[in-house]
Amino acid sequence: MDEPTKLHIHNVSKIYRSDGQEVLAIDEIDLKIKNKEFATILGPSGCGKSTLLRIVAGLIKPTRGIVRLDGNVITRPGQDRGMVFQSYTLFPWLTVTENIQFGLEISGMQKAKQGQIAQEFVEKVGLKGFEKTYPRGLSGGMKQRVAIARALANNPAILLLDEPFGALDAQTRALMQELLTQIWEELHKTILFVTHDVEEAIFLSDRVFIMTARPGKIKAEIDIPLERPRGYEIKATESFLNLKKHALALIREEAIKATQYK
Ligand code: ADP
Ligand code: MG
């Protein structure tokens, strides 16, 4: 891929300070995500994945280092970054369509245009017929479909997803992975995805960055040359399983270290 750098995480470290204690969460992370790339950060629980993504989102500040998106230093949250979290973050008092339109409304877009874009994304995430439903009437998977649609509707420069399928059952999770793959193959948005799930990382990504146990550093980078479009069948192919074996061995060492903190 000869695409230019979209996101540059440049020598970023984060120390949390609370009650006189210091925790080095991430240590000198340096990585470049290319335009239109699907990149995943894979690491054991507590290694600093959310910390890194929150820094990119502008929700917290790095202790050292900077992050540039399209060359501009990130200092605060912005509409150029769409964010999807593990926990459901929909507004309970708004319908599916109203949730998806929320950012467009704030940006002052004309109503008819808002409706048109919201409908387009309702359909892309497979929620036709649920436009007027409130979040309480949706399953977990459907809520995450809305969250993805809401993030994409704003046409962000990059989409940031922090374990978005972590709370879903295995079958729903697999379906959501397929949906996200299809959407990515259609829109080619730059995506930075975070997960602790090896299979999920390989299935979705062009490139997987493996983190060490805390303090989180980048331990390895794996290219995923699997052909696209990708369907669930690919998970049983020899090339997929070889990549999985390689990644599992790397992540396992870190998972063991991570348990030793507890
Ligand atoms: P991950 O998302 O990979 O599970 P996190 O980024 O949430 O990891 O956390 C990395 C480390 O930083 C953990 O040890 C966690 O306890 C610590 N940590 C996270 N947030 C804070 C905070 N606000 N204050 C102090 N320590 C924190
Ligand atoms: Mg996390």
Q: What is the DSSP string of 104-115?
A: HHHTT--HHHHH
Ligand 1 pocket test target in 54, 214, 251 with most atoms within 8 Å of CB? 214
Q: pLDDT tens per residue, the chain (262 residues)?
A: 589 999 999 999 999 998 999 999 999 999 999 999 999 999 999 999 999 999 999 999 999 999 999 999 999 999 999 999 998 899 999 999 999 999 999 999 999 999 999 999 999 999 999 999 999 999 999 999 999 999 999 999 999 999 999 999 999 999 999 999 999 999 999 999 999 999 999 999 999 999 999 999 999 999 999 999 999 999 999 999 999 999 999 999 888 888 886 5
Beta-strand (E) ranges in 212-260?
Answer: 218-223
Residue nearest to atom 4 of ligand 1 (CA): 46
CA of 110 to the centre of ligand 1 (A): 41
CA-nearest residue, atom 1 of ligand 1: 46
CB of residue 43 inside a 6 A radius of ligand 1: yes
Q: What is the pLDDT of residue 258?
A: 81
Residue 173 Rama label (left phi>0; alpha psi -120 to 50; beta): alpha
Single out the residue of 50, 72, 46, 40 nearest to residue 157, CA to CA: 72
23 in contact with ligand 1, CB cutoff 6 A: yes
Which pTM value belongs to this model? Answer: 0.96
Supply the pLDDT for residue 1: 57
* From 9, 13, 47, mutation site for ligand 1 pocket: most ligand atoms within 8 A of C-beta: 47
pLDDT of residue 186: 96
Ligand nearest 45 Cα, by number? Answer: 1
